[in-house]
Amino acid sequence: MTRFDKLSASLRDFGLDAVALNPGPTLTYLTGLRFHLMERPVVLLFAPGQPPAIVLPELETQKLVGLPFDVTPFPYGENPAEWDAVFRRAVHSLNLDGKSIGVEPRALRLLEFRYVKGGAPEASFPDASSALARLRICKDQDEVQKMRRAVQVAQNALEAALQNFKVGMTEKEFAAELTVQLLRHGSEPEMPFSPIVSAGPNGANPHASPGGRPIVRGDLLVVDWGATVDGYISDLTRTFAVGEVEAEYRKIHQIVQEANAAGRAAGKPGVPCADVDAAARTVIEKAGYGPYFTHRTGHGIGMEGHEEPYMRGDNLQLLEEGMTYTVEPGIYLPGRNGVRIEDNMVITQDGCESLSDMAREMRVIE
């Protein structure tokens, strides 16, 4: 069964007649095509039983050569005044006016939506996120292997960056060093996210941006980073001690390490995502730091840094073989320091496996 066959079945199950996709992971997953989001709109239109139609700039048409499936191109030139007519032809070619055309609200921009809506003014545009997530949520062996390579690239890059670490470097300087090493070790330039490098008080912000603060002795250094290989990503976090650190910081690192181990051990087919969150969270709560674990335990990964399934306390979705996700408990002490330890997991036939194996124990760097 092709990926378009799977899409057809999912659209039928969700009562959708078609789907409209702009550049992003779902379009790439279905077609292998990659486009940048820019001022020139690109939209793939798909309705079961018909070859997909794609509206794209004339300068991009060479990307369609040699595709292993039929596609009907609707190219346009540089004059935006002509684009409406091209979109109308594409929409009408699939007879979509008055139909239910699914969209991805987090991905489809108003720019593309207006062009598609102009060609199908009587159509409805329901949220197709669930129908599309079903396609990508369980990875096959090839996808997992790409993620495994992305993990290895990321781990090797951080080890190389740590060789060039010096006390007194700023967060930005170490983030730059890590970015260079990610490229040198094989990551695609379009990384899943810019590395998060946060030290001392900044480490208490889970999504801090690297700044100009020097990294000094006594800091905990939180590094959250990832690589992209063949369109699939890794997303890891390790926390280091910069020289000698306070006893409480060593304590919370040990607690987070134990919470991470509990979260990793909890995953297997048939287990609710909520149980993974509970396994990690219980360790931190029992240690008295529950209020300082301020986010879910993890999220799905694959072609995106955040996708289904989500490891949170109210999510009763059952884990299935091939699902891939993070386990990333943390403790964040406002104004002082923070700790997070994050691994990438895949559900196997009878349990789960960590794709990442970089040491999780507290490591002192100087």
Write down the pLDDT at residue 253.
98
Q: What is the pLDDT of residues 221-268, one digit of tens each?
A: 999 999 999 999 999 999 999 999 999 999 999 999 999 999 999 999
| Nearest to 267, CA basis, from 339, 345, 358 | 345
By C-alpha distance, which of 92, 86, 85, 81 is closest to 120?
Answer: 92
Q: Is 269 exposed, middle or buried, given 0-12, 13-18 or 19+ CB atoms closer than 10 A?
A: middle
Q: Roughly what angle, to the nearest 10 degrees, separates helices 3-13 and 129-136? A: 140
Which amino acid belongs to residue 125?
Answer: F
Q: What pLDDT, in 10s, does the model give residues 327-358?
A: 999 999 999 999 999 999 999 999 999 999 99
C-alpha distances out from residue 187 to 159, 195, 230, 302, Å: 15, 13, 9, 15
Contacts of 145 (CB under 8 A, 6+ apart): none
pLDDT at 271 over 90: yes
One-letter amino acid identity for 178? L
What pLDDT digit, counting tens, does each position of 98-132 carry? Answer: 999 999 999 999 999 999 999 999 999 999 999 99
Per-residue confidence (pLDDT) for residue 1, from 0 to 100: 80
User: Nearest-CA neighbor of 19 among 89, 91, 114, 106?
Assistant: 91
Query: What domains can you pick out in the chain, each with its CATH number?
Result: 3-136 (3.40.350.10), 141-365 (3.90.230.10)
| pLDDT reading at 361 higher than 90 | yes
Q: Distance between CA atoms of 223 and 206, rounded to whole angstroms?
A: 10
84 token code pair? 């409406």
**Strand duo 101-102 + 72-76: pairing:** unpaired
Question: Which amino acid does the sequence have at 5?
Answer: D
Confirm if 324 and 353 have CB atoms less than 8 A apart: no
Radius of gyration of the chain (CA): 23
Please state, as a whole number, how many other Cβ atoms lie within 10 Å of the Cβ of residue 124.
12
Q: 319: which DSSP letter?
A: P
CB contact at 8 A, 313 and 277: yes
| Signed CA dihedral, 29, 35, 38, 44: sign only | negative
Kindly report the number of other CB atoms within 10 A of residue 267's CB atom. Answer: 25
The pLDDT-based confidence of 37 (bands split at 50, 70, 90) is very high
Helix, strand, coil content of the chain in percent (nearest 5)? 35, 25, 40
Sign of the alpha-carbon torsion through 275, 279, 285, 290 = negative
Say which residues have a Cβ less than 8 Å from residue 363's Cβ, sequence separation at least 6: 238, 240, 241
Q: Residues with Cβ < 8 Å from 166, sequence gap 6 or more?
A: none
Is-contact 334 312, C-beta < 8 A? no
Percent pLDDT > 70 in the chain is 100
